[in-house]
């Protein structure tokens, strides 16, 4: 848009300001008028209320003054009339006479009235709420009159002789039985229904209490006009009885819920299903039947809420409470809040709080219960497994021709059960906490297995005589395979848990759970690898004689490699059916590496000597035997990948002195962690060795960047102290030379 156009639009907007200002002023005036009118109305109402209060106060003061005047006139009248005391006394006697006549008449008709009430009660007999009880109100009215009559009579007889009192008590004793029957009927109704009869009694009680209070506050006036007083003298407390019945009925339901919950911890919500139904009925049905001042819903809510709080508190404080029950209580707290919301009640405002605000504490306690229980289970399982492993009184379990320990399926069933319970909490931190504890226990189990296997293998390795071996129980290989197989199965179970549990959580907790379970799976793989290595240790314990012969005079033109191959083949034939198919390739790879390492380690044998004219031929023969044996079970390419190192080994043995440094460099390039100490040992075994050859190797200082993974030659790396000593010795020799 061009600039002139912008100016025109801006000018048009400025023209609108006046009209907008006028419109806003008009609206403001309208609003101000409404506010003033509303304020004037409210002020008028307030002033009217204040005026009414002032008028009421004036009337009250006027009444008080008139009452004082009346009292004064009465006192003066007594002095003005000479015979006033006598007249007053005669008047009292007359009133008392009339009252006594009335009492006499009622006493004479007491039996017939009680008989009529008993008849009506009998007609309404029955404990079922389905009984209509048509005589209930007439009975109640009659009993009220009889009770008022009894209380009047007993009150007036307070100054009478004991004989008179006892006589009156005997007259009224049948009334107690009748009242008791009626009270039972009221209890039956109050346990499930609210009736207007209670309101009548409450009003009567209020009159009694008001009269008693007035008498206490104005004792001097009361005594002046004292005569025979009629009406109830004792508060009968039917409202309190009703509320006590409501509480008793709810307590009975909670007792039933307690029994159901103890029998089925997962059914807490079902066994408390009546709770909100009752409160909903009170709110929708009872409120319109009750006096507003009763606040019947709030009354019921207070009773029910306190009982619920006590019920849950008792359950939580049980010393034998299990994790499932505790979690269901925690979950019920959330459902309770939702239920209260449907009733229009803010659960947070209820006192006391349902579980006393201890949800976080209880969640922590729940996690601790699970951990404690799982530690007990895992400890017992591990104890039984290691006992079987060490004693080996029977073979391990055989499933699909593969050896297994019997505990793994049971162990992961328990873990899944606990995780399912944790998932029911719908809280990621609870699930993550349980997963972390499960992983911790699994890793502890892995460490324990490694310790047990190391101890048992050590016993076999240290057995130097046939008698020592016979003292050891048979079946070590079967149990080693069972443990190795179990690690593969455990890793699979753990992966299933990860795939099932992690997606149910938020991204934050999902990543934590996956990392934790992956750590456990890596531990299973490592332990399986360790188990295979220990099996190979047993095999090579039997291969000590031929290995000791390597590169010694007895080795030349001998069959030590064939002996080794034959022994290993017999072991493999025995092992392969019982070892997990996924582990067998890994086992053969380790066996191939171990054979190669043992062969290369022969340079340290006592009497090892490489005769240039014969050593190369014998080594090639051994390699051919080893290749032939291993390729029966493993792909040739995989065997070659391990045994290629022997080509460099041959180069160190056979190369002329001028080419030795070059061959060493090539070896170092292929195997970055090649230790110079082992190379020196090879050169020292050559029959044409010389100091110059050693110096060639030591002085090369070939730098090769550190590789990613260690190579097979890392098996010959000397301990750190030995390397330091060798290095110091080398540089010392360089210095003195």
Give pLDDT, residue 316. Answer: 85
Instruction: Determine, yes or no, domain membership for 537.
Output: yes
- Residue 196 clears pLDDT 60, i.e. is over it: no
Task: Name the pLDDT band for 265 (thresholds 50, 70, 90).
Answer: confident
CA atoms within 13 A on the CB side of 625: 21
- Could you tell me the residue range of the domain that residue 46 belongs to? 26-80
Task: Kindly state whether residues 711 and 598 are assigned to the same domain.
Answer: yes
Task: Kindly state whether residues 518 and 580 are assigned to the same domain.
Answer: no
Task: Kindly state whether residues 520 and 446 are assigned to the same domain.
Answer: yes
Instruction: Determine, yes or no, domain membership for 582.
Output: yes
Q: Tell me which residue of 489, 368, 361, 486 sits closest to 418, measured CA to CA.
A: 368
Between strands 402-404 and 397-399, the pairing is: antiparallel
Alpha helix ranges (H) inside 351-427 = 359-391, 408-424
Which of 511, 530, 549 is the endpoint of a domain?
549
Instruction: Determine, yes or no, domain membership for 642.
Output: yes
Among 64-68, 627-631, 718-722, top mean pLDDT goes to 627-631
Q: What's the mean pLDDT in 413-426?
A: 85
Give pLDDT, residue 527. Answer: 96
Task: Name the pLDDT band for 681 (thresholds 50, 70, 90).
Answer: very high
- Lookup result for tokens 């006027």: 62
pLDDT digits (tens, 9 = 90+) for 685-703: 999 888 888 888 888 765 5
Q: How many domains does the chain have?
A: 4
Contacts of 485 (CB under 8 A, 6+ apart): 402, 403, 404, 578, 579, 580, 583
197 near 137, Cβ under 8 Å?
A: yes
- Residue 498 clears pLDDT 60, i.e. is over it: yes
User: What is the Cα–Cα distance from 599 to 540, expressed in whole angstroms?
Assistant: 12
Residue of higher predicted confidence among 28 and 647: 647
Give pLDDT, residue 731. Answer: 42
Task: Kindly state whether residues 263 and 336 are assigned to the same domain.
Answer: yes
Which of 302, 323, 355 is the endpoint of a domain?
355
Instruction: Determine, yes or no, domain membership for 126.
Output: no
Give pLDDT, residue 132. Answer: 62
Q: What is the DSSP letter of 703?
A: -
Task: Kindly state whether residues 555 and 543 are assigned to the same domain.
Answer: no
Task: Name the pLDDT band for 262 (thresholds 50, 70, 90).
Answer: confident
Task: Kindly state whether residues 572 and 523 are assigned to the same domain.
Answer: no
Long-range contacts, stretch 200-204, CB < 8 angstroms, 24+ apart: 200/140, 200/144, 201/144, 201/236, 201/238, 201/239, 202/238, 202/239, 204/144, 204/232, 204/236
Least confident of 56-60, 129-133, 441-445, 494-498: 129-133
Q: What's the mean pLDDT in 653-674?
A: 90
Give pLDDT, residue 467. Answer: 75
pLDDT digits (tens, 9 = 90+) for 81-139: 666 677 777 877 877 777 777 777 777 677 777 787 777 777 776 655 555 667 777 87
pLDDT digits (tens, 9 = 90+) for 213-234: 655 655 554 444 444 455 555 5
Q: What's the mean pLDDT in 20-32?
A: 82
Q: What is the DSSP letter of 474?
A: S
Residue of higher predicted confidence among 143 and 713: 713
- C-alpha R_g of the chain: 51
Structure tokens at 138: 């007439």
Give yes or no for a cis peptide into 352 (omega within 30° of 0): yes
Which of 515, 549, 583 is the endpoint of a domain?
549
Please tell me the pTM assigned to this model: 0.60
Q: Interior CA angle at 63 toward 58 and 67, to 5°?
A: 150
DSSP string, 509-528: HHHHHHHHHHHHHHHHHHHH
| Mean pLDDT of the residues in the chain | 82
DSSP string, 28-46: HHHHHHHHHHHHHHHHHHH
Least confident of 424-428, 563-567, 667-671: 424-428
Instruction: Determine, yes or no, domain membership for 39.
Output: yes
Task: Kindly state whether residues 318 and 432 are assigned to the same domain.
Answer: no
Instruction: Determine, yes or no, domain membership for 603.
Output: yes
Task: Kindly state whether residues 574 and 657 are assigned to the same domain.
Answer: yes
Give pLDDT, residue 737. Answer: 42
The enclosing domain of 527 has a CATH number of: 1.10.357.50
Task: Kindly state whether residues 544 and 655 are assigned to the same domain.
Answer: no
The enclosing domain of 572 has a CATH number of: 1.10.357.70
User: What is the Cα–Cα distance from 561 to 412, expressed in whole angstroms?
Assistant: 45
The neighbour count for residue 437, using CB atoms within 10 Å, is 21
Task: Kindly state whether residues 304 and 351 are assigned to the same domain.
Answer: yes
Task: Kindly state whether residues 297 and 362 are assigned to the same domain.
Answer: no
Instruction: Determine, yes or no, domain membership for 185.
Output: no
Least confident of 206-215, 303-312, 447-456, 533-542: 206-215
Q: What's the mean pLDDT in 671-689?
A: 91
Task: Kindly state whether residues 366 and 510 are assigned to the same domain.
Answer: yes
pLDDT digits (tens, 9 = 90+) for 608-623: 999 877 999 999 999 9
Longest dimension (CA), the chain: 166
The end-to-end CA distance of the chain, in Å, is: 93
3-state secondary structure of 235: coil
Instruction: Determine, yes or no, domain membership for 624.
Output: yes
Structure tokens at 256: 């039933």
- Lookup result for tokens 């006393």: 356
Measured CA to CA in angstroms, residue 468 lies from 65, 465, 567 at distances of: 121, 5, 21
The neighbour count for residue 426, using CB atoms within 10 Å, is 11
Long-range contacts, stretch 671-676, CB < 8 angstroms, 24+ apart: 671/645, 671/711, 671/712, 671/713, 672/704, 672/705, 672/706, 672/707, 672/711, 673/707, 673/710, 673/711, 673/713, 673/714, 673/717, 674/711, 674/713, 675/713, 675/716, 675/717, 675/718, 675/723, 676/726
- Sign, Cα dihedral of 410, 411, 414, 415: negative
């Amino acid at each position: 848009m061009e600039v002139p156009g912008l100016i025109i639009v801006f000018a048009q907007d400025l023209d609108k300001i006046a009209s907008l200002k006028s419109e806003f002023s008009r609206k403001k005036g309208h609003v101000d008028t409404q506010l003033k009118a509303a304020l004037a109305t409210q002020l008028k109402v307030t002033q009217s209320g204040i005026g009414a209060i002032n008028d009421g106060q004036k009337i009250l003061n006027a009444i008080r003054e008139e009452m004082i005047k009346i009292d004064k006139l009465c006192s003066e009248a007594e002095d003005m009339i000479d015979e006033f005391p006598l007249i007053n006394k005669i008047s009292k006697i007359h009133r008392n006479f009339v009252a006594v006549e009335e009492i006499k008449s009622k006493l004479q008709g007491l039996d017939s009235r009680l008989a009529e009430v008993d008849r009506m009660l009998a007609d309404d007999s029955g404990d079922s709420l389905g009984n209509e009880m048509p005589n209930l109100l007439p009975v109640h009215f009659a009993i009220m009159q009889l009770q008022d009559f009894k209380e009047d009579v007993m009150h007036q007889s307070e100054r009478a002789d004991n004989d008179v009192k006892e006589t009156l008590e005997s007259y009224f004793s049948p009334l107690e039985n009748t009242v008791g029957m009626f009270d039972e009927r009221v209890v039956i109704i109050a346990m499930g229904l609210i009736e207007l009869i209670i309101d009548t009694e409450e009003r009567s009680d209020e009159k009694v209490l008001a009269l008693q209070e007035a008498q206490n506050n104005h004792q001097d006036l009361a005594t002046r006009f004292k005569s025979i007083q009629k009406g109830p003298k004792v508060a009968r407390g039917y409202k309190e009885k009703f509320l006590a019945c409501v509480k008793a009925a709810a307590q009975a339901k909670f007792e039933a819920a307690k029994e159901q919950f103890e029998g089925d911890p997962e059914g807490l919500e079902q066994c408390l299903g009546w709770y909100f139904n009752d409160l909903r009925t009170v709110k929708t049905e009872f409120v319109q039947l009750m006096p507003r001042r009763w606040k019947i819903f709030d009354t019921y809510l207070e009773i029910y809420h306190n009982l619920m709080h006590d019920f849950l508190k008792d359950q939580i404080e049980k010393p034998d409470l299990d994790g499932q029950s505790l979690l269901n209580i925690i979950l019920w707290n959330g459902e309770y809040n939702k239920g209260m919301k449907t009733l229009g009640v803010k659960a947070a405002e209820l006192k006391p709080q349902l579980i006393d605000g201890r949800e976080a504490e209880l969640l922590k306690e729940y996690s601790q219960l699970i951990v404690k229980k799982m530690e007990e289970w895992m400890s017992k399982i591990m104890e039984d497994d290691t006992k079987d492993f060490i004693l080996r009184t029977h073979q391990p379990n055989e499933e699909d021709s593969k050896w297994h320990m019997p505990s793994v399926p049971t162990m992961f069933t328990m873990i899944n059960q606990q995780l399912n319970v944790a998932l029911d909490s719908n809280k990621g931190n609870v699930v993550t906490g349980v997963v972390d504890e499960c992983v911790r226990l699994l890793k502890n189990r892995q460490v324990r297995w490694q310790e047990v296997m190391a101890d048992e293998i050590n016993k076999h390795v240290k057995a130097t005589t046939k008698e020592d071996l016979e003292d050891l129980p048979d079946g070590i290989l079967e149990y080693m395979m069972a443990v190795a197989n179990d690690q593969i199965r455990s890793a699979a179970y753990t992966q299933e848990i990860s795939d099932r549990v992690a997606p149910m959580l938020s991204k934050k907790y999902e990543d934590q759970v996956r990392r934790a379970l992956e750590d456990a799976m890596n531990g299973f793989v490592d332990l399986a690898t360790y188990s295979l290595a220990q099996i190979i240790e047993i095999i090579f314990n039997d291969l000590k004689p031929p290995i000791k012969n390597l590169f010694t005079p007895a080795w030349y033109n001998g069959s030590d490699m064939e002996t080794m191959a034959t022994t290993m083949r017999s072991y493999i034939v025995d092992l392969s059916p019982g070892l997990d198919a996924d582990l067998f390739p890994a086992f053969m790879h380790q066996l191939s590496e171990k054979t190669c390492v043992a062969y290369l380690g022969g340079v340290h044998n006592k009497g090892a000597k490489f005769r240039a004219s014969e050593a190369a031929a014998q080594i090639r023969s051994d390699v051919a035997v080893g290749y032939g044996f291993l390729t029966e079970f493993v792909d040739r390419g995989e065997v070659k990948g391990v045994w290629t190192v022997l080509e460099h080994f041959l180069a160190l043995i056979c190369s002329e002195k001028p080419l030795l440094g070059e061959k060493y460099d090539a070896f170092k390039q292929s195997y970055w962690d090649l230790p110079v100490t082992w190379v020196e040992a090879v050169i020292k075994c050559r029959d044409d060795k010389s100091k110059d050859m050693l110096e060639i190797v030591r002085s090369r200082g070939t730098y090769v960047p550190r590789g990613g993974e260690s190579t097979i030659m890392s098996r010959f790396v000397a301990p750190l102290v030995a390397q330091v000593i060798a290095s110091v010795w080398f540089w010392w020799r360089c210095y003195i030379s």
